[in-house]
């Protein structure tokens, strides 16, 4: 969450001459609703099922693709294993303080998992989520800890 997946994914795709796909945008297009609205109407469990289906459908897309997933995608339904079997996975490991700061300063306030988290508790929430999710993220084939976007693209 807020680690730069979309920004870096777009730049990497351009550098490689690949297509860029944002899984969240694909979800919204295929379901004709925002993720926030979907969460409110159907809940996280239903979202994760459809998100997994959409992830798996990306294997059928033509050409070469860089795909930015949501932060929870690799942590559901053996998705990280599926990603590793069907592509090259990259974990953009960034400092939890950096993530919390980006969330607090983000103009994007529609993240459903953050909807009821007070600003002064964002850092704690990020820390808790990373403790849960990092076991999945660390299964990535490439783990990047570089913070500079151009350096990340060069290393990848």
Can you give the pTM of this predicted structure? 0.85
Count the Cβ atoms, other than its own, within 10 Å of residue 16. Answer: 14
Residue 99: CATH number of its domain? 3.40.50.300
Three-state secondary-structure class, residue 54: helix
Strand partners, 67: 21
Crossing angle of the two packed helices 23-31 and 35-57, in degrees rounded to 10? 110
| Dist. CA 113–CA 48, nearest whole Å | 13
pLDDT in tens, 38-55: 999 999 999 999 999 999
Number of separate domains in the chain:
1
| Dist. CA 136–CA 81, nearest whole Å | 9
The per-residue pLDDT for 2 is: 75
The per-residue pLDDT for 44 is: 92
Eight-class DSSP state of 87: S
Eight-class DSSP state of 69: P
| Dist. CA 15–CA 11, nearest whole Å | 6
Domain that holds residue 111: 5-155
Q: Which residues of the chain have pLDDT under 50?
A: none
Measured in degrees and rounded to the nearest 5, phi and psi for residue 25 equal -65, -40
8 A C-beta contact, residue 154 and residue 102: no
| Dist. CA 17–CA 13, nearest whole Å | 6
The per-residue pLDDT for 16 is: 95
């Amino acid at each position: 969450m807020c680690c730069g997946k979309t920004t870096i994914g777009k730049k990497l795709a351009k550098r490689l001459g690949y297509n860029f796909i944002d899984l969240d945008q694909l979800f919204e297009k295929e379901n004709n609703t925002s993720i926030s609205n979907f969460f409110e109407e159907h809940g996280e469990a239903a979202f994760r099922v459809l998100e997994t289906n959409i992830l798996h459908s990306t294997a059928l897309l033509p050409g070469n693709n860089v795909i930015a997933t949501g932060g929870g995608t690799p942590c559901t339904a053996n998705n990280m294993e599926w990603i590793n079997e069907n592509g090259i996975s990259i974990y953009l490991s960034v400092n939890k303080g950096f993530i919390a700061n980006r969330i607090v300063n983000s103009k994007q306030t529609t993240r459903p998992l953050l909807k009821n988290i007070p600003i002064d508790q964002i850092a704690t929430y990020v820390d808790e989520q990373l403790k849960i999710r990092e076991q999945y993220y660390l299964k990535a084939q490439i783990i990047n800890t570089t913070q500079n976007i151009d350096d990340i693209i060069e290393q990848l």
